DNA sequence: AATCTACGCGCCCTCTGCTGGTGCCAG
DNA sequence: ACTGGCACCAGCAGAGGGCGCGTAGATT
């Protein structure tokens, strides 16, 4: 509802409801209500921008645009201040948009899903996820992207020579993307309240990277040491067999002659040699000492 | 009525950061 | 051969900057 204390303003406003557009642009045949609007419009055709910025090459059709430009680029004057944080803006509409980040208000509802946006642009951008539209094309490999920023990163990482790299301050790992570095730091270098145990010993850690580094120290380590002699080995099963040399235990018995063995393999060799009819005895005889061998061996 | 000025809306852009799928590699 | 972990990668949303342009208030 329009109200005004001035008759002139009222009359002018009423003209906005009338379709009377008597001022014709002779370049595109578009019509305007006032001569000022027509003049501004013609300035767009002719490129006439009377309001020039004194600090850069920009020029504008109206003085208001110039003032706003100067605030953005040169004076940095931000008259619109947020009452809830330090944010300040050049334009009131920007403050209004910013305040939605405090209130959580999302006036722009997607018609196809539950998503709602705080501003029109985000909704428009979101709609590409439904349409499948990918407006941005890589000029090198012609891959297509939904957002310009995604394409920019793609070109930088895939087609640029001086690819930026991010080095982890804790472990010197090189990672291509800043956001991935955050993931790396979160997964490997953040303190965790719950203890992480070493899979080889009783050590515990609160940082995953420290655990991994520690576990590497166990690699090639002969962790199983005999308490009776100098013997050491990597696997527990080897130590079990070795211990029988100290205990005298011989758990494997030959069913044919009751001879006992410490290892299953020794029993197997014994059985084949003495009780298996298909066993081929030594056929290659040493020409010097006469000892027989089952295989031909060159010394 | 014409003009200047301030305001509001809309559009487009960039920067930022999180997420989940994927391929590779070590265990 | 299988599995879990990690860097790589594209998809996607949040926040904010900058400008075009129409309209209303104020002034000439």
The model scores a pTM over 0.95: no
Rg (CA), chain A: 42
Separation CA A97–CA A213 (nearest Å): 48
pLDDT one-digit tens code per residue, A44-98: 666 677 888 888 888 888 888 888 998 988 888 888 888 888 899 999 889 988 9
Question: Band of the pLDDT at A297, cuts 50, 70, 90?
Answer: very low
| pLDDT for A295 beyond 60 | no
pLDDT one-digit tens code per residue, A225-273: 667 766 665 555 566 767 777 777 777 777 777 777 777 667 766 777 7
> Which nucleotides of chain C does any protein CB come within 7 A of?
6-27
Structure confidence at residue A169 (pLDDT) = 82
Residue A216, nucleotide of least CA–C1' distance: B27
Distance A35 CA to C11 C1' (A): 49
H or E stretch at A253: strand A252-253
pLDDT one-digit tens code per residue, A204-220: 888 788 887 777 676 65
List, in order, residues 6 or more apart from A195 with CB less than 8 Å away.
Answer: A204, A205, A206
Structure token digits, residue A43:
């300035």
CB A181 within 8 A of CB A174: no
- Nearest-CA residue relative to C1' of C22: A37
Residue A163, nucleotide of least CA–C1' distance: C8
Separation CA A35–CA A31 (nearest Å): 10
Structure confidence at residue A31 (pLDDT) = 63
Residue A40, nucleotide of least CA–C1' distance: C21
Distance A122 CA to C11 C1' (A): 14
| pLDDT for A202 beyond 80 | no
Structure confidence at residue A126 (pLDDT) = 92
Structure confidence at residue A190 (pLDDT) = 82
Q: Where are the alpha helices (DSSP H) in chain A?
A: 7-17, 35-46, 63-70, 92-103, 120-131, 148-159, 178-188, 208-216, 236-247, 264-275
- Nearest-CA residue relative to C1' of C24: A9
| pLDDT for A106 beyond 60 | yes
Q: Mean pLDDT for chain A?
A: 76
Strand pairing of A23-24 and A31-32?
antiparallel
Which tops the pLDDT comparison, A105 or A48? A105
Q: Which residues touch strand B (CB under 7 A)?
A: A 8, 11, 34-36, 62-64, 67, 79, 91-93, 96, 119-121, 124, 147-150, 152, 178-180, 182-183, 216, 219
- Give A136's strand partners: A145
CA A276 to chain centre: 64
* CA dist A97 → A64, A86, A221 (Å): 21, 15, 62
pLDDT one-digit tens code per residue, A266-291: 776 677 777 776 654 444 455 556 55
Which of A217, A234, A215, A216 lies closest to A225 in space, CA to CA? A234
pLDDT one-digit tens code per residue, A146-197: 998 889 889 888 888 777 778 888 887 888 888 888 888 888 888 877 777 7
- Nearest-CA residue relative to C1' of C8: A176
Q: Specify the DSSP class assigned to residue A75.
A: I
Query: How would you classify residue A248: left for phi > 0, otherwise alpha for psi between -120 and 50, otherwise beta?
Result: left
Mean pLDDT of A132-157: 88
| pLDDT for A14 beyond 80 | no
Residue A150, nucleotide of least CA–C1' distance: C10
> Which nucleotides of chain B does any protein CB come within 7 A of?
1-20, 27
């Amino acid at each position: 509802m329009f109200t005004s204390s001035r008759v002139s303003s009222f009359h002018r406003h009423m003209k906005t409801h009338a379709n009377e557009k008597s001022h014709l642009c002779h370049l595109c045949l578009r019509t305007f209500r006032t001569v000022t609007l027509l003049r501004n419009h013609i300035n767009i055709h002719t490129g006439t921008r009377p309001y020039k910025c004194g600090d850069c090459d920009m020029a504008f059709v109206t003085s208001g645009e110039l003032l706003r430009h100067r605030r953005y680029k040169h004076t940095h004057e931000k008259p619109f201040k947020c009452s809830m944080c330090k944010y300040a803006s050049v334009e009131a509409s920007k403050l209004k948009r910013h305040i939605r980040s405090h209130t959580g208000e999302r006036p722009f509802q997607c018609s196809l899903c539950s998503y709602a946006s705080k501003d029109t642009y985000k909704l428009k951008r979101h709609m590409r996820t439904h349409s499948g539209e990918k407006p941005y094309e890589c000029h090198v490999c012609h891959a297509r992207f939904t957002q310009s920023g995604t394409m920019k990163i793609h070109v930088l990482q895939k087609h640029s020579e001086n690819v930026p790299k991010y080095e982890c301050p804790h472990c010197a790992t090189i990672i291509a993307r800043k956001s991935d570095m955050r993931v790396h730091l979160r997964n490997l270098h953040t303190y965790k309240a719950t203890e992480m145990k070493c899979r080889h010993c009783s050590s515990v850690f609160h940082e995953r990277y420290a655990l991994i580094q520690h576990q590497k120290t166990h690699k090639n380590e002969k962790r199983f040491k005999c308490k009776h002699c100098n013997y050491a080995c990597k696997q527990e099963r080897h130590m079990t067999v070795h211990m029988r040399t100290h205990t005298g235990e011989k758990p494997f018995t030959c069913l044919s002659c009751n001879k006992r063995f410490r290892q299953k393999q020794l029993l197997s060799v014994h059985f084949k040699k003495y009780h298996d009819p298909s066993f081929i005895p030594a056929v290659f005889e040493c020409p010097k000492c006469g000892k027989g061998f089952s295989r031909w061996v060159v010394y």
